[in-house]
Amino acid sequence: MELGIETVYISPHYLSPMEDGGYDITNFTQVNPILGTMEDFKELIDETKARGLKLIVDIIINHSSDKHPWFIKSVNREDPYTDFYVWRDPKSYDYNGKPIPPNNWVSIFKGSAWQWNEQRKQFYLHQFTLHQPDFNLRNNLLKTEIKKIFKFWLDKGVAGFRIDATKYLIEDAEFRDDPVKPGVIVPYTYQDVTHLYTADLWETYVFLHEIRLFCDRVTKKFTDYERILLPEAYGGGKMLYQYYGSKDYKIAHFPLNFAFVLIVEYKNASFYHNLINNYLSPIPEGGIPSWNSENHDKFRKAMVYNPEYEYIFTTMVMLLPGVAYTYYGQEIGMIGARIRDDQKRDSNPDDFTKTTRDSCRLPMQWDDSFNAGFSTNPKTHLPVSSEYWKINVKKQKADKNSHYYIFKRMLDLRKTDVFKYGDFKSYVVSTWVFAFTRTLKGQGTFLVVLNLGSETEMVNLSSVIHKLPETMNVELSSPNSGYSVGDEIATSATIPNTFILRPFGAVVLSSKMPGS
């Protein structure tokens, strides 16, 4: 609230044996006792509302825990639960009489996506861990039960849902093999196949359309604001834009965009220019873009690159057109930490990076006291980062040049009409200098300049951006840029006033520009 954040989104809070950080659920309408009670959740709703905030919850409808009563009854073939999950007979048996999976589908966490159940004498599908059996979302009764879960939490007062793992909701009804990539003999990792039959099927969008219509009906009684659906839609391509639906065929309000999250290498200005414009241009009229660069599944950017580079991503996320997401700790530049084997909690490492996800899930660093002010317990669930004594909220709130105050200033800029409604245009100033403008007629222009490279750059803005004034004023700057708010910067390569930007520096310039 103090920063200007408008909405809070929380990770799964449901009853769970925690085989996968709470994404394996045994009761979708009960709060996990390790997190609190339903009374605590109601208090959370009330207190966020009292502060002018909205609360969005994570909802998982792709799978449950294998300890969920529905799954146990499905194993026993108890109707109506018999077909609540995806079950399949063996393809055949090997020479030892061991059942062979029905096809070559691969789990996100490696190995076959099929697990044999000796009691039922069939395989069940699990696109995630073997403790997370996939729902059969072609079963109409199951879909009715899932809609009841949405209604339960809407009635509790949530502002909407982040729908987990949406691209995996429905699989090919004919159970055809996914195409194997060249050079792969036996698929084992998720990257070994092209997921033609296990991701982004059109039936997924049809089901989400049903969910959208259902939630809209349930929330007609609310007149304050519309409750939203946000799919977790990893991947790009044309299927990402299908989540928007159309005026006459509503699906989600907008999908989460993970393009920045997936970047783990240094990329030049042309890369970001193309990435951003290729993402924005196909968004349908009235569609809302979204941006985020960190989440609970990937290393923090300050750890992948270095602390200074985190400003690059934060600046783009906050000042590009659309909705901005902030993963807790980004507002103070939390780095994360390498986790010792004896400290690990995540038994399902990310298949792409081959590393535990614990490093980005460490406790929030509030101050330099014991456990960073996060907990009074002798030990926390995951260790506190060793950086807590110098990177924490209390310390940064006392420093007007800290990451905290720069982030706060970005949020202030986002509230101006230029950043809310202004046009966007990006520029490749040089190989490693990327810039973009936000312009609104009668309101002037903001120019964001980013040095993506590891060398100091002499920046000649007027060489690629026409009709610039001779000088512009610094509205915001990262500490490593070499500039302060109020400084005047030359837009052309004039000596001795050449605009020099340090490695990984970020500045936001402003001026009344010709024609604005």
* Segment 232-241, tens digit of pLDDT: 987 667 889 9
CA distances (Å), 343 to each of 337, 356, 358, in order? 11, 11, 9
pLDDT above 90 coverage of the chain, percent: 80
pLDDT at 397: 95
pLDDT at 86: 98
- The predicted model gives 426-433 an average pLDDT of 97
pLDDT at 512: 57
- 3-class SS of residue 433: strand
pLDDT tens digits, 232-265: 987 667 889 999 999 899 999 999 999 999 898 9
pLDDT at 257: 92
Least-confidence region, from 24-28, 89-93, 219-223, 498-502: 219-223
User: Does the pLDDT value for residue 513 go beyond 60?
Assistant: no
Q: Cβ distance 55 to 41 under 8 Å?
A: no
Identity (one letter) of the amino acid at 197? Y
Which of 24, 232, 294, 387 is an active site residue? 232
pLDDT band at residue 299 using 50, 70 and 90 as cut-offs: confident
pLDDT at 147: 98
According to DSSP, the β-strands at 499-501 and 506-511 are: unpaired
Average pLDDT, whole number, for the chain? Answer: 92
pLDDT band at residue 1 using 50, 70 and 90 as cut-offs: low
pLDDT at 345: 82
Nearest C-alpha neighbor of 317 from the set 306, 336, 301, 304: 301
Q: Cβ distance 208 to 251 under 8 Å?
A: yes
pLDDT tens digits, 176-213: 999 999 999 999 999 999 999 999 999 999 999 999 99
Catalytic, 224? Answer no
**Contacts for 351-354 with beta carbons within 8 Å, 24 or more apart?**
351/108, 351/109, 351/110, 351/189, 351/190, 351/191, 352/190, 352/191, 353/264, 353/298, 353/299
Which of 24, 58, 134, 164 is an active site residue? 164
pLDDT at 349: 59
Rg of the chain's alpha carbons, rounded to an integer? 25
Catalytic, 232? Answer yes
